[in-house]
Amino acid sequence: MSNLQYKIINRKKKLVFVPFFVAGFPDFKFLENFIIKNKDKIDILELGIPFSDPVADGPVLQEINYRAILSGVSLENTLSWLKDTEIPKVVDVVFLLYFNLLYDRLEERLQKIKDIGIKGLVIPDLPLEESEDLLPIFNKYGLDLVLFISPTTRKERREKIIKIAPSFLYFISVKGVTGERDELPQEGINFAREVRLETDKPLIWGFGIRNRNQIENLYGLVDGVIVGSAFGRKLLEGQDLQNYFDELYEATL
């Protein structure tokens, strides 16, 4: 059992709270201050490395990726920033990044990621078959590869994902891309119930979370929630994030 999996299973609250931010947006200093200030509320931090074609993201996160790239944010300077902060020491960090950012110097980059103290990787463009082949390499560097599962995943493929997943399952609750939804999709709820009967591995709900009512409706169904686009929209609009962040965090207690 990985450290992340152990932490989720042995939580002392209803749901694990996993905020998502894109590295360097609105800037590194803001993120550092916000994360350190809220370190006791963040169970796992999902930190996105900006990419020019983030195929899994909706309009809000696409715009944030674009702005971060324009400002010069990269994997390399994100690692340098984290090395000079307390963030990896006080929060469990998982990177979301695309395989194009890794593949040409894979083990060299994995070593750097490990040395910073990152706990795992979410790689949206890595097919299951390649994930399976690369698992020994990720394991070598002590990095959990987080695998996706969704209502469109065929049963035989789902069984393989459940079998090989070293950490939690990233539950894509809807067809399509990231973004806020007004209500939880019934298809996603039904599928989560089905998966619950097939595995005791932690299930973290991604995509669509924007209010505490949605979070409360997931009690007993999943093990945690990822919130990204809703926070990103606040930052894009220049709104204060803290009160909204606290409201969603408190819904997981």
Q: Which residues are catalytic?
A: 46, 57
3-class DSSP string for 89-128: HHCCEEEECCHHHCHHHHHHHHHHHHHHCCCEEECCCCCH
How many CB atoms neighbour CB 114 within 10 A?
Answer: 15
Structure tokens at 21: 């931010």
Distance CA 185, CA 72 (A): 37
Q: What region, left, alpha or beta, does residue 183 occupy, with left being phi > 0 and alpha being psi -120 to 50 degrees?
A: beta
The Cα–Cα gap between 15 and 248 comes to 11
